[in-house]
Amino acid sequence: MSIDTHAGHTRVLIAGGSSGMGLALAESLLAEGAEVVIVGRSQARLDAARRRLPDGGRLRAIAADITDEDAVAALCERSGPLDHIVTTAADIAGAYQLLPALDLAAVRRVVDSKLVGPLLLAKHGAPVLAPAGSITFTSGIAAYRPAPRGAAVAAVNGALASLAAALAVELGPIRVNVVSPGWVDTPIWAAVAGDAKDATLGAMAKRLPVGRIGTPGDVADAIRFLMGNGYVTGTVLHVEGGHRLA
């Protein structure tokens, strides 16, 4: 589905665009002719992403922390008019712990990166979005199939559905949606599973009805649907290979 909303290039800001799902989305959008701004905290990862992505004068990379309101306000001012805002950013390192060992600082990083950051992007991004534009948040399967050690991530992912619904009402006609991935092979798994990454993902692949783990491209395709369909708002789109069933 084309995401063009007006004559000329579609303009998309992707927080978390330097790796994983955000990087895959940036790559597909650039291939279609969009103008893309990728945002991340690490200048080194942004530089690496720029080397990988096609440019053609349509790619910008901006280092910013979306948990810092002043930084988000400056980011949205610097980005200029936009058609879509997407955030795939997440800082979940250290958050997967049983309750007695749960580190509050790690919980706050999850809340800040996955809930406060998206809220700030909506607050400061809505004024520069086109009326037919959209905002897409990224939650995850932990909200719908919670497991031991996952309370903090499950809670934040679940909250994003309510946030999107409320903002869809408040910001309309700008559309606000959530994509909820299942297990996707991205760099974040190195922090979650360490050396057990391959075995962990392989075991889940055998459980899923589709017989495989997701790819960043699977999620990018889903986000592109949410961006391009002007009649979808306040919705959670599950992209999880049937994980809620298995």
The residues that are catalytic are 139
Residue 214 β-bridge partners: 184
Q: At what angle are helices 216-228 and 20-32 packed, to 10 degrees? A: 60
Asked whether 75 and 64 are in contact (CB, 8 A), the reply is yes
Task: Kindly report the number of other CB atoms within 10 A of residue 127's CB atom.
Answer: 10
Q: Which residue(s) pair with 134 in the sheet?
A: 84, 175
Q: Which whole-number Å values give the CA distances from 202 to 56, 170, 189, 213, in the listed order?
A: 38, 42, 12, 8
Contact 37, 14 (CB under 8 A): yes
